[in-house]
Amino acid sequence: MTVISVIAGDGIGREVVPEAIETLDALGLGLRYDVLDHVNAQSYLRTGAALSDSDLDRVRASDATLLGAVGDPRVTSPDYARGVLLRLRFELDLYVNHRAVTLLHDRLSPLRDEKRRGIDCVIVRENTEGLYAGIGGALRGSSELETALDVEVNTHAGVSRVIAYAFSIARTGVCLVDKSNAVPHGGRLWQRCWAEQCAQWPGIHATHQYVDTAAMRLVADPTAFDVIVANNSHGDILSDLAAQLGGGLGTAASANLNARTGFGLYEPVHGSAPDIAGTGSANPVGAVLSAALMIEHLGHPQEALAVRSAVARSIADRRCTPDLGGTLTTRQAGAAIRAALD
């Protein structure tokens, strides 16, 4: 029996996750859910606990996690979001951030040139090291010599494993994106790990671009990319750029993975969106496509494909929320996706 731990979280996370679950249920895969309903800002404000040890045990006991969003304007301390998301990411060593981007419908593309609209790529972002490791400090505060340092961490093991993952999912090619011309120490390490991994995957076309060039090329011709692998900060920026090319924040799906254990946490790229929470206008597509990614990784590629096709059909028919040019509510858009399932 496959068990999915579910953390709907906050804001629109609580509105879109039920649509993802209902869509999964319509596939008849016999999934079981362990719902961690108390992991949200409301209970954090009451108890001060973000994600407890026993919550973590429940997540570990499951086969995958489906997450909505974590964040609430009433919670000003970063400890809450860090206590949930970073705790899960580090305790489960979810070193890959996998963001698949496909253009769901032509009208959603911000690009003019029709021939170049069809993005279908995966951005693989390193998820546990890099510039976001929180290492550094401030020196000589409140003087003209004030200096702030953020150290970028790159380890041979960490870089190699994320590059290996990129190769393992490539259909045609992997493009390493870095800034090794300007960031020499980390750059050299990435280049060496890259060369080692390229030698292990001779059938996959391997290319390299500096991040500034890659940003430009992604806009000029996104169809040229299959898999992009990048460090934490570059991957962060490029994946949002790519998400916009695919149809926007409401449609973007992601997975945080430990490719060695196979465990994954799947979540839409958007956050809790407090400005639209409770209005019924949240787009459920990002959550539904995250669930599709999840079942694909759990061994159900046909069903995942069926969900993606149903999403594309419902958008083509404008049976979708206002952000995609439709007039449906979250519930209605979820129902339209299910109705479009074969």
Closest CA to 222 of 316, 308, 97, 114: 114
Of Mg ion, ligand ATP, none, which one does residue 227 interact with (CB within 5 to 8 Å by kind)? none
**Nearer residue to ligand ATP within complex by CB, 130 or 284:** 284
Does the active-site annotation cover 150?
no
Closest CA to 123 of 269, 271, 303, 312: 269
Interaction between residue 271 and Mg ion (CB under 5 A): yes
Does the active-site annotation cover 113?
no
Does the active-site annotation cover 240?
yes
Q: Which helix H or strand E contains 90, and what residues bound it?
A: helix 87-91
Are the C-beta atoms of residues 70 and 80 closer than 8 Å to each other? yes
Q: Please name the residues in contact with 288: beta carbons below 8 A apart, sequence gap of 6 or more.
A: 16, 19, 20, 23, 307, 311, 334, 337
Q: Is 316 exposed, middle or buried (0-12, 13-18, 19+ CB in 10 A)?
A: middle
Strands 64-69 and 264-268: parallel
Catalytic residue among 10, 55, 226, 236: 236
For residues 105 and 111, what is the distance between their CA atoms, to the nearest angstrom? Answer: 12
Catalytic residue among 179, 226, 266, 323: 179
**Nearer residue to Mg ion within complex by CB, 12 or 336:** 12
Of Mg ion, ligand ATP, none, which one does residue 283 interact with (CB within 5 to 8 Å by kind)? ligand ATP
Does the active-site annotation cover 179?
yes
Residue 44's φ and ψ, nearest 5 degrees, are -60, -40
Tallying the residues shown for the chain, one arrives at: 342
Minimum distance from CB of 272 to Mg ion (Å)?
8
Catalytic residue among 33, 34, 120, 132: 132
Of ligand ATP, Mg ion, none, which one does residue 275 interact with (CB within 5 to 8 Å by kind)? ligand ATP
Q: Tokens at residue 230, please?
A: 């990048």
SS3 assignment, position 268: strand
| Region binding Mg ion by CB under 5 A among candidate stretches 105-113, 134-142, 247-255, 264-272 | 264-272
How many whole angstroms from its chain centre is CA 223?
20
| Region binding Mg ion by CB under 5 A among candidate stretches 36-44, 226-234, 267-275, 303-311 | 267-275
Interaction between residue 286 and Mg ion (CB under 5 A): no
Q: Which parts of this chain interact with ligand ATP (CB under 6 A)?
A: 12, 69, 71, 249-250, 270-276, 282-283, 286, 323
Angle at 95 between CA 91 and CA 98, to 5 degrees: 125
Minimum distance from CB of 54 to ligand ATP (Å)?
25
Catalytic residue among 37, 79, 150, 212: 212
Minimum distance from CB of 67 to ligand ATP (Å)?
12
Catalytic residue among 63, 93, 120, 240: 240
Q: Which helix H or strand E contains 46, and what residues bound it?
A: helix 41-47
**Nearer residue to Mg ion within complex by CB, 11 or 264:** 11
Secondary structure letter of residue 66 according to DSSP: E
Are the C-beta atoms of residues 197 and 164 closer than 8 Å to each other? yes
Minimum distance from CB of 55 to Mg ion (Å)?
23
Of Mg ion, ligand ATP, none, which one does residue 282 interact with (CB within 5 to 8 Å by kind)? ligand ATP
Q: Is 126 exposed, middle or buried (0-12, 13-18, 19+ CB in 10 A)?
A: buried
**Nearer residue to Mg ion within complex by CB, 246 or 271:** 271
Of Mg ion, ligand ATP, none, which one does residue 209 interact with (CB within 5 to 8 Å by kind)? none
**Nearer residue to ligand ATP within complex by CB, 234 or 270:** 270
**Nearer residue to ligand ATP within complex by CB, 187 or 274:** 274
Secondary structure letter of residue 130 according to DSSP: B
**Contacting positions for Mg ion (CB under 5 A):** 271
Active site residues: 132, 179, 212, 236, 240
